[in-house]
A and B are shown apart, each in its own frame.
Chain A
Amino acid sequence: MNTANLSTSWAVIGASGFIGLRTVEGLHGRDGVNLRPVVRSATSLAVLARRRLDWRIADPRDLPALTEALRGCPVCLHAALGDPVQIERMATIAYRACAAAGVRRLVWLSSASVHGQNPPPGTDESTPLHESHPLAYNNAKVRAERRLEQLARDGRVEVVRLRPGVVFGPRSRWITDAAADLRAGRAGWLGRGRGVCNSIHVDNLVHALRLAATVPAAAGEAFLVGDAETVAWRDFLLPIALHLGLDETAFAEPPPAPLVAERTPPLAALTRTRLYQRLGDAVPDRAKRLVKGLASAWPAPAPARDAWVLPRAPAGRLTLEQTLLQGCAWKLPHAKAARLLGYVPPVPFAAGLATSLEWLDFAEGRT
């Protein structure tokens, strides 16, 4: 299949998100392809509306609405993200909607974290996946990939899975969170940031998405994609600090977060049971929201309130995700993407970081 030279529309589910928006703005109008944003509500159109686009409003968990939104598109790029339960459901619904709407290829944004944030040296696409990661997100991404592989056996839709690592660029949380932590004096790193950051500039990912949508040999495959360079976390974090007028001393070396699996509160666990999911659409949305609300309100330890404390600045800290990521010693290879897709990342890491910081200045009102 090669759709790139036809005048055609590709749907982008989750088009208002960080990657979805960049995909729409980067690929719309290229090679005669129009991008059709599919978003959950009119509210999501605020930034997409900078351009006149043929958007559709459909929830990625609503099969009939999504099917309607995808009609006429030979390609669907899936860049929506939900909680772990939703991630799995979205995969099933995306496949079924594509099949019903006659979409030929579904490009699914998975994640390198299907191999864990700190994958063992030697990991590549042939490494078997497992579902016992400490982060629920990783396990959900694994389950979603497995579900898609299973569904694609009916041959109705070609599925391509992309596994990017740390996707950065304008609007990326990796940039904004790091800047916010630095400014608030709570930035931390592990081993002075010597761990490997499996980065990919968002425009490199958009390039990979385009290839995944068009290269015939991609069908049925999963691809790790990343920047060309092997990047250490300090290469990523230190320039952000310097840009903000800080230096290496802005990073504390806090103790790593304990490597215990994320606790699933009992009610959230209920929403993950087969029975609850089978009830699926039979459960009114309001009731689901109530269960979710109760789940998120599950008692967290109350913050200690003590007036007899010296005022002090916040301390550096590392979340579980950061601890895992910064402990990484392996640059995930994208040799398979290079071989089968012809993937050569067009944006050098340093240039990508520079434009991200330029955007940060712009977003924070400094320019």
Chain B
Amino acid sequence: MKPPNTPVSLALVGCGAVSRLFYRPALRELRRHGLVELVAVVDPRPEARDPLARELGCAACASLDAALALRPALVAIATPPSLHRVQAEAALAAGCAVLCEKPLAATADDADAIVAAAARAARPLAAGHYKRFFPAHRALKTLIERQTFGPLLEATLVEGGKFAWPAATDSFFRREQTPGGVLLDIGVHVLDLLRWWLGEPADFTYADDALDGLEANARLDATFAGGARVRLRLSRDWRTENVYVFRFARAVVHCRVNAANQLEITLDDLPLTLAAELRHPLPARPAPPSRALETNPQAFLAQLVDVCAALHEHRPPFVPGAEGAAALRWVETCYARRTPLSLR
């Protein structure tokens, strides 16, 4: 991914936890490198937007329209999902490219509408599935596709822990305002990765523990075209091992959740496990150790760099909006096929 030549002017919509914890440090770093120029942050709550605007040295706008009047080239949307469609459509109609946080929208229909709006406006639309930028996840894709260790036989993915995200209000837990629980929250990332690695599932079953509210535990069992069986267990109730385990014909690979540049590889013929930091490849001659590949924050930065480059190069982003819509469609199909997971 080649960095763009001139700074991309950017407006950040939504000044909640994602913006504070992820976008703030990322945008500062990209600005330091002359990759972006931040024109505005947008939030109806002055107590949220003003400090962020001050820190980032840009305009503080109460509405998206006010920010669009400043003519940003790229709008990053980090608001509650129910607002994504209307905001993305407005930004695209104003001629901006859009990077929209996951889930792409509140419903798959809304997500499809955003994708259609991007096509009409002929502007890049990127889905914020930044975990595709993890070197470990890219390595897994290569291992699965090239069958380096033979075909993938099965995978067990467990992810989650006691919920700790600093939710500012309870809207995140109200069904009227947020259409899903742990599957929509952290699961949409995993479903996106599974689709990316393995394609559409041939078949799957889904169960969760929601009563008349939002699920805290979910389980998905799927089979994929090549015959690989996948078991996914998600929780925001209890600490899980937080690991994806891939059983290939000749090796087992452990990929720890959020350890962006690490893998643990156990070759069938070798009685040990290689716990490896992923680095730039070494040549087949004496050479000093090479540099590590991207960490988790660097993968988030890589996503922003990619969107900026896509703008400059007139190419689709690495994770196009349609991929975000497809992951969300899968989430909805899960909910439609839901069976109860008994409460313990």
A-B contact pairs, 22 of them (CB 8 A): A42-B169, A42-B170, A43-B163, A46-B162, A46-B237, A48-B173, A49-B181, A49-B214, A50-B209, A50-B210, A50-B211, A51-B212, A52-B175, A52-B212, A53-B213, A57-B170, A171-B238, A362-B217, A363-B237, A363-B344, A364-B241, A365-B156
Chief secondary structure at chain B's binding surface: loop
Kindly list chain A residues whose C-beta atoms are within 8 Å of the C-beta of B173.
42, 45-46, 48-49
Kindly list chain A residues whose C-beta atoms are within 8 Å of the C-beta of B240.
363-365
A-binding residues in B (CB < 8 A) = 156, 158, 162-170, 172-175, 181, 209-217, 233, 235-238, 240-241, 343-344
Contact of B343 among A25, A41, A48, A55 (CB under 8 A): A25
User: Across the interface, do A47 and B211 meet the contact criterion of CB distance under 8 Å?
Assistant: no
A170 at the B interface (CB under 8 A):
yes
What bracket does the count of chain A residues touching chain B fall in?
20 to 34
A358 at the B interface (CB under 8 A):
yes
User: Across the interface, do A43 and B209 meet the contact criterion of CB distance under 8 Å?
Assistant: no
Separation of A355 and B175 alpha carbons in the complex (Å): 30
User: Across the interface, do A47 and B163 meet the contact criterion of CB distance under 8 Å?
Assistant: yes
User: Across the interface, do A50 and B169 meet the contact criterion of CB distance under 8 Å?
Assistant: no
Question: How many whole Å from B184's CB to the nearest CB in chain A?
Answer: 12
Q: Give A21-47 as 1s and 0s: 1 = Cβ < 8 Å from B's Cβ atoms.
A: 000010000000000000001110111
Max chain A C-beta neighbours (<10 A), residue from B165, B213, B235: B213
Question: How many whole Å from A255's CB to the nearest CB in chain B?
Answer: 31
Kindly list chain B residues whose C-beta atoms are within 8 Å of the C-beta of A48.
173
Separation of A51 and B209 alpha carbons in the complex (Å): 10
Q: Which residue of B lies closest to A358 (CB)?
A: B344
Within A51-65, the residues touching B (CB, 8 Å) are: 51-53, 55, 57
Kindly list chain B residues whose C-beta atoms are within 8 Å of the C-beta of A47.
163, 216, 236-237
Kindly list chain B residues whose C-beta atoms are within 8 Å of the C-beta of A55.
170
User: Across the interface, do B213 and A46 meet the contact criterion of CB distance under 8 Å?
Assistant: no
User: Across the interface, do B213 and A43 meet the contact criterion of CB distance under 8 Å?
Assistant: no
Contact of B213 among A41, A49, A358, A365 (CB under 8 A): A49
A330 at the B interface (CB under 8 A):
no
Known: A170-B344, A363-B235. A43 touches B165 (CB 8 A): yes
User: Across the interface, do B233 and A43 meet the contact criterion of CB distance under 8 Å?
Assistant: no
Q: Which residue of A lies closest to B171 (CB)?
A: A42
Kindly list chain B residues whose C-beta atoms are within 8 Å of the C-beta of A359.
344
Kindly list chain B residues whose C-beta atoms are within 8 Å of the C-beta of A50.
181, 209-211, 213-216, 343
